Chain A
Amino acid sequence: MDIFLQQLVNGLTIGSMFALIALGYTMVYGVMKLINFAHGDLVAGSAFVGLFVFTQLLGGQVSVLVVVGVFILTIITIALLGFTIERLAYRPLRSAPRLSAVVSALGASMVIQNGIMLLWGPQMHIFPELLPTIIWDIGGVVVSLIQVLIMALSMILMVGLYLFVEKTKIGTAIRASAIDQDAARLMGINVNNIIVTIFLIGSSLGAVGGLFIGLYYRGITFNMGWQYGLYAFVAAIIGGIGNIPGAMLGGILLGLFNAFIAGYISSTWADAFTFILLIVILIVRPTGILGERVAEKV
């Protein structure tokens, strides 16, 4: 039972991170039908930008204000980077065949990844300890302050995003653009602006995910975007790519699955089982758990 509860906490923590990152994939896919392969590298970039902002810009002394500053400045930087990628790598290809955009996405991914390597080198960096190491032992289950923060902040962001997309005018315009871009234009929706909005939101959430990875795992490398990006991408597919609640659900489920495999079987096998899970889900429900919201007659 202890292992179960412990892995539940761990799984929810990493699942929250997967979910935040998966949202970036799924929102872009929803409207543009494009896998933004550069998204994972933005996540990696976020951890490095966070490191830079903390040590170089804000003096390297931990305080509440500094931590908030690290988050805000990093999110702004990564959001602008996401905006730039959309402008340079995707917008010129808006009417080109889909494959061209995919190749462009792979190119953008490599540019960012190598850019991080040029700036920070190929060695592993240690992300600063921005939060005090507070650990609670609740009846044998160990929970850290970082885990609580990751889970709570992720939950707030996801609920906020959900309400934004479901209840606001821009959110409705985002959903309309995802269904039919031409019909959205006929409503007077500037679809280009919607795409920019999506990139800003997706990159910002990815930036938070990257900072969480730094806080939680500490060791950050220039190429870690592939690994976390792949996990988040799998989460987005499991939930149903293009579907926002699906990405949240897929992320949490994947995190739990991973943690339980690591807890009960072996952490070396966690990756292998993750992909077995992906294959099984693709066989049973090719559109993912929440994909293909079938309209039912009432």
Chain B
Amino acid sequence: MTSEEILFKISDLEVSYGSIAAIKGISLQVRKGEIVTILGSNGAGKTTTMRAISRLIKAESGSIMFKGHELTRLPAHKVVSLGISHSPEGRRVFNILSVEENLLLGAYTKSKVDQEILSWVYDLFPRLKERKSQLAGTLSGGEQQMLAIGRALMSQPELLLLDEPSLGIAPILVKAIFAQIKKIAAKGVTVLLVEQNARAALKLADRGYVLEVGKIVFSGQSEELLNSPRIQEAYLGKQKK
């Protein structure tokens, strides 16, 4: 599925919270059809990067290009209609709206809700269909994660940003959700996945970047990362021999 066409490119991005620099000049690119993961521990700047892409926080400097559009000049609500959708850390579902209302809000920028997309999302996550008139806040953590991903798919994105879809979710559901991410990518959706669960992420992704305190310290194909002693020790829990 992967082509050579670069869909998305970050160059020298810097982001700071007040005087504290959170992202210190990172560059990365994603080709059309790829699954790319950004790994890193807590506080490495993964979520900050995602929020900068979606324009929820300002970039200090640098550029974020998507299909010829410079995102750093756009307000947050304009990003989704370009074809980028963001399933945020902590899921952030609209807890007192119904599951279906959440999904329909995902298609807010569309003049009409595409019923095919809705039934595709329900096929991917049948539990959402079973609970479509339930309030989102009553779902389990894993179901809320499914809802957050489904909601992000409703705008028919070309690039799907997934921030920690495994966070606080039972291992069995993590497996199920990652399997569905693979299906989503197989439909031609490019995926940028931020994860702390490095093993699961690398099994899924084509390539990965490793972020440490605001800088990219390592990048490569997933197998390279899986076999790198340094990555194994720091992120995959293997001891040095």
Write the chain A residue with the least CB distance to B87.
A186
Q: Which residues of B contact A189 (CB under 8 A)?
A: 77, 105, 108
B80 touches A179 (CB 8 A): no
Main secondary structure of the interface of A (DSSP, over half): helix
| Residue among B76, B92, B151 with most chain A CB within 10 A | B76
A188 touches B80 (CB 8 A): yes
Residue B81, interface by CB 8 Å: yes
A186 touches B54 (CB 8 A): yes
How many angstroms between the C-alpha atoms of A183 and B55 in the bound complex?
12
Known: A296-B138, A298-B138. A185 touches B76 (CB 8 A): yes
Q: Which residues of B contact A185 (CB under 8 A)?
A: 54-56, 76-77
How many angstroms between the C-alpha atoms of A221 and B8 in the bound complex?
61
A295 touches B97 (CB 8 A): no
Interface hits, B22-79 → A, CB 8 Å: 54-56, 75-79
Interface residues on A, range: 20 to 34
A176 touches B105 (CB 8 A): yes
B105 touches A187 (CB 8 A): yes
Interface residues on B, range: 20 to 34
How many angstroms between the C-alpha atoms of A176 and B107 in the bound complex?
13
A172 touches B105 (CB 8 A): yes
Residue A190, interface by CB 8 Å: yes
Interface hits, B121-165 → A, CB 8 Å: 134-138, 151-152, 155
B92 touches A297 (CB 8 A): no
Q: Which residues of B contact A183 (CB under 8 A)?
A: 88, 92-94
Chain B nearest Cβ from A35, distance in angstroms:
21
B97 touches A179 (CB 8 A): yes
B94 touches A175 (CB 8 A): yes
Chain A nearest Cβ from B159, distance in angstroms:
13
Residue B217, interface by CB 8 Å: no
Q: Which residues of B contact A187 (CB under 8 A)?
A: 80, 105-106, 108-109, 151, 155
Residue B96, interface by CB 8 Å: yes
Write the chain A residue with the least CB distance to B86.
A186
Known: A172-B104, A173-B105, A176-B94. A186 touches B56 (CB 8 A): yes
How many angstroms between the C-alpha atoms of A189 and B134 in the bound complex?
23
Given contacts A173-B108, A295-B137, 10 further A-B contacts (CB under 8 A): A172-B97, A176-B97, A180-B92, A185-B54, A185-B55, A187-B108, A187-B155, A189-B77, A190-B77, A298-B134
19 A-B residue pairs with CB within 8 Å = A172-B105, A176-B94, A176-B105, A182-B92, A183-B93, A183-B94, A185-B55, A186-B54, A186-B76, A186-B80, A186-B85, A186-B92, A187-B109, A187-B151, A188-B77, A188-B108, A190-B75, A293-B96, A295-B135
B residues neighboring A (CB under 8 Å): 54-56, 75-81, 85-86, 88, 92-97, 101, 104-106, 108-109, 134-138, 151-152, 155
